[in-house]
Amino acid sequence: MNWIGKVMRRLRRHHCICAQGVVLHDTARIANNLTDRSAIHVGAYSHIRGELLTFGHGGRITLGEYCYVGEQSHIWSAANITIGNRVLISHNVSIFDSLTHPLNPEMRHQQFRAIIASGQPRAIDLAEEPVTIEDDAWIGCMSVILKGVTIGRGAVIGAGSVVTGDVPLYTIAAGNPARIIRELTPDER
């Protein structure tokens, strides 16, 4: 491991609270625009290869213990994203608790100008709704989880799914928009 990588990992840890045994891999990006370390909390023994981002006007990300966030995955919070224990988030997954940009084109342009001039705006309405992913869920690669969604304990989201509504515990959901495929069998739980 080179010294630049070690320094970068130490710097990323200043932007979040990491419990014992957390690994922020070289591809991890912590973008805490709130500058409040407590806005991003990573539970013990979790491995982060993707991006955790809070917006300038708000946002909280809480990951439980033994979670995995794959490469090129993005967890962007303007309200609150809560992820339970032992959650596997595959590569290229996107999780959002807001629209990320205003629907009105003039306001969207103002947001863009603010971001390139001075960073994330401190006051903006992005129609935020919290996201909850409960313990033992698995989010398949290239899936998108949208605002206001709760994914139940042990649920599996198929690769490439767009989740726009709640997914019950111990079910498999897939598609665009994601639909319940089936319940997990007792042996699969």
Instruction: Walk along the chain (189 residues) and give the pLDDT tens digit of each residue.
Output: 554 455 444 445 678 999 999 999 999 999 999 879 999 999 999 999 999 999 999 999 999 999 999 999 999 999 999 999 999 999 999 999 999 999 999 999 999 999 999 888 899 999 999 999 999 999 999 999 999 999 999 999 999 999 999 999 999 999 999 999 999 999 999
What single-letter amino acid sits at 137? Answer: A
Catalytic-labelled residue, pool 25, 47, 91, 101: 101
Q: What domains are defined for the chain?
A: 3-188 (2.160.10.10)
Q: Note if 109 is an active site residue.
A: no
Quick check: pTM over 0.75?
yes
3-state secondary structure string across the chain: CCHHHHHHHHHHHCCCEECCCCEECCCCEEEECCCCHHHEEECCCCEECCEEEEECCECCEEECCCCEECCCCEEEECCCEEECCCCEECCCCEEECCCCCCCCHHHHHHHHHHHHHHCCCCCCCCCCCCEEECCCCEECCCCEECCCCEECCCCEECCCCEECCCECCCEEEEECCEEEEEECCHHHC
